[in-house]
Structure formats: C-alpha cells, structure tokens
Chains A and B, each alone.
Chain A
Amino acid sequence: MLMEHKEYYLTIADTLLILGQRLSEWCGHGPAIEEDIALSNVALDYIGQATSLYKEIALKENLGKSEDDYAFLRDAWEYRNALIVEISNGDYAKTIARQFVFSTWYYHFLEALEKSNDTFLQGFAQKSIKEVRYHFQHSRDWILRMGGGTEESHNRLQNALNELWEFTGELMTNSVHEMEAIAKGVGVDNVALKDTFDRIVSAIFQEANVSAPADVWMQKGGKEGKHSEHLGFILAEMQFLQRAYPNSKW
C-alpha cells in the first residue's frame, strides 16, 4: 500500500538512526566512563525513536516488512538523513558540538511536531521531547565546560565549530518531501525554527566564549538522498551482517 508522507517519516527516522549509529562508535572509547555511558544512552534513545518510526511505516505500508528492512536493506541514495549526522565523529569536542547543535534544532522541531495533525507523529513528538531535554542539557553543559576550560579544550571546541558549521544549515531547510508534509499540516516548517535556533545557540556560545563562523556556504542534499562519502562507510558496517547472511536473526 502506498503510504502518504513515507519520505517525511524516513527523513526523521534516518536522521536519528544514523546519528545513533555514529554515537555508538564512542561506546568503549569515551573520554570518561560517565561520557561513554551518556553517549551510549543518547544513541539508544535515537535508535529507539527511529525504530518506532520505521515500525509505523511498516504498519502503514503493509508489505510484510519489519523495521529492520528499512535500516538494513536500503542503499545510501534511499537514505533521507541530513548530512550533519553522517560526517565522522572527530574528537570529543566535535561530537559534542554536533550534539549541541542537533539537540537544539531537534528539541524545537519536536515542540512544533507535537502540533502535527498526524496523530502518530504527535505521540512520537510528545514521547521523544522528554528524552531530548536531557540530551540538550548534557551537550550544553559540555559546551560551557570546554569553552571555559583550558586553552586546549577551548581551541578544540572552536575548531570543531569551524569544521561543523557548513553542515548546520540543512537542518533549517525544507526538502521537497518536507514541504509536502508542511502543506498538509503534518510536517514542521524547519525554516521557521531558524530564529529560535540562532538565538539559543549564540547565547550559549557567548557564554562559552566561542563563536560560530560567519558567512559559511551551507551544504545540503542529504534529505534528498545526495550524501557525502561518509554514509556509505556507515552503511557498510551497519548492514554487513544482513547483506552477507540475508534474513539471519538475532
């Protein structure tokens, strides 16, 4: 059965799954055990949220698929995630900088999604926003600590922001699929979130004595299936087992 707004669901789900997969790379490698646990917990939340969206797609498509089919049996060009979640983790400063930027956008995205006229997405947003509050707080605390810490931590954070910034713009754009969902009252207008995003991010950066680089050309295309080289490597690792041994079960 053709599912309305499937691509919209995938945009949210894929963004969460890929970021969850990226964060899970820190499992066993965190700078301190508390951070190891924190990032693994955040990764689990994202993957759990993605799973509930994939399950809903499976239910509405009614093609006998499971959530695993969407995660493991689609190639890079079918993925609808924003580019920012697929780029490599870098050092801890870069991972945290991404978490901060992402959580700030995602929190306000969910706040708006609670008003969607799609009842599943409404429930999804009400559930997820409670978890994302903790993610936001965790990353915000680290931005302040690293920014106001040693020269080394401050410089690493600033370098991370310089490297990351070109990928932040896409979060506040609407793809074709998102525009269709917005027109139906289902989706969130990401462009309208930009002012709030800028206000919160610049206030925290000021407190942390770092800054977002100005006049950066913003990359985009991920949400329309045009990805960086990084995504292929993530999928190769994530999907290996199902590709090599089709239908194997845990």
Chain B
Amino acid sequence: MVEVEADLIWEYLKMVEDPEIPILNVIEMGIVRDLTWDEDKKKWHVIITPTYSGCPAMKAIEEDIIEVLAELQVKNVVVDTVLSPPWTTDWMTDEAREKLRSTGIAPPEKGSADKGLLMGKVKDIACPRCASTNTIMVSQFGTTACKALYKCGDCLEPFDYFKCI
C-alpha cells in the first residue's frame, strides 16, 4: 500500500515546477532527493536539497510541493531540506538539458565546477540559439543565482547559461 502510494507521489511531484525555470519540474532539476514514510507519525517526508544556498525559489518550492500534493489528496506531507550530498548540475537529466536549450538557456556543461575556475579559466559555452561557440561571458552572475550572463559573438543574442556547481 505504502509502495503504491509512493510511486504515485513521485508522479505527482513531477507537477511541481521550478518557479524560476517553469519548463523544468523539481524531479528533472534533481531537487527532490528522497521520499520516505514515517509510520509512527503517519507522515510523508519529501526530502529536498537546495540548488544554491541563497536561492529564493526554495521556499516557494517547499510550499508548492505541499500545495500540489494536498490538491491530489496527499495531505500528511512534511518537506525536509538536506545539504549533503550537495546538489550538482550533473544530476540534471539529458531531457532537462535539452528543454533548457530549447527555451534559450544554455545547459550546464557536464562535470561540475572544477578548480580551473579558481585560476580564471572559462569554458566554451555554445549559444543555445545558433550553437556557435564564439561566445563571451558578460557576467558570472545572471538573472538568477544559478545562471551566468553570456553573449553570442555570431548571432549577437544575449543568453543565460546555467552554470555548473
């Protein structure tokens, strides 16, 4: 019984969007880490992990999870936040990466942030519109905590790059 409900809840969680990037849900983002049932207290625990510590979307995601599940008649839900293991862009599925590209956000490179960053190395990022790698970083900090701002040297369009962590 609990197993069946767990499978259902995992499905329901796919309806919770990332408020900053609504094309992705919290499962595709890798934000939901686990789902457990507390038999004593008769409660579901949805375990989530933040993308960035300062991500203002986390509070909204917590509330959205409880709201979406409540609408689907799962009412005894608690959302717990864990920091370890730390979220990494490597957890994003290939479909999620493709979805990002299709909305004009360059997806994160695989192999999360390396130490090269400390030495000032910058990776070649392909423009999500024209695929040119003739791009320059305008700012390491973009429209949200998880994105950097880039510009394409060929099609001249500015774009967001989902940076690796």
Contacts and interface: CB of A to CB of B under 8 A. Distances in A.
A binds B: yes
B50 A38 contact: no
Contact of B145 (A45, A119, A124, A126): A45
- Tell me the interface secondary structure of chain A in the complex: helix
Given A130-B165, A133-B117, A48 B141 contact: no
A127 B117 CA distance: 16
Nearest to A35: B139
Given A43-B54, A44-B54, A127-B53, A136 B138 contact: no
B73 interface: no
Contact of A49 (B53, B87, B88): B53
A128 interface: yes
B53 A48 contact: yes
B117 A34 contact: no
Contact of B141 (A41, A107, A122, A124): A41
A123 B117 contact: no
A181 to B, nearest CB: 19
Nearest to B49: A127
- Please classify how large the interface on chain B is, using the bins under 10, 10 to 19, 20 to 34, 35 or more: 20 to 34
B112 interface: yes
Interface in B99-134: 112-113, 117-118, 120
Contact of A134 (B84, B87, B117): B117
Contact of A122 (B53, B84, B138): B84
A52 interface: yes
A49 B54 contact: yes
B86 interface: yes
A119 B84 contact: yes
Interface stretch (A137-145, A188-196, A225-233): A137-145
A236 interface: no
Contact of B53 (A38, A45, A133): A45
Contact of B83 (A47, A107, A127, A140): A127
A9 interface: no
Interface residues of A, number: 33
B113 A126 contact: no
A42 interface: yes
A228 B163 CA distance: 38
B55 A34 contact: no
Given A123-B84, A134-B117, A137-B117, A34 B139 contact: yes
B103 to A, nearest CB: 20
Nearest to B56: A44
B113 A133 contact: yes
Interface string B126-165: 0000000000001111110100010000000000000101
A38 B149 CA distance: 10
A27 B120 CA distance: 26
B37 interface: no
A138 B140 contact: yes
A37 interface: yes
17 contacts: A34-B139, A37-B141, A37-B143, A45-B52, A45-B145, A48-B55, A52-B81, A107-B118, A123-B84, A126-B83, A126-B86, A130-B113, A130-B165, A133-B117, A134-B140, A137-B117, A138-B141
Given A41-B54, A48-B50, A137-B140, 7 more contacts: A44-B53, A52-B53, A124-B83, A131-B54, A133-B113, A134-B141, A134-B163
Interface of B: 50, 52-56, 81-88, 112-113, 117-118, 120, 138-143, 145, 149, 163, 165
The 6 closest A-B pairs by CB, nearest first: A123-B84, A44-B54, A48-B53, A48-B54, A38-B141, A34-B139
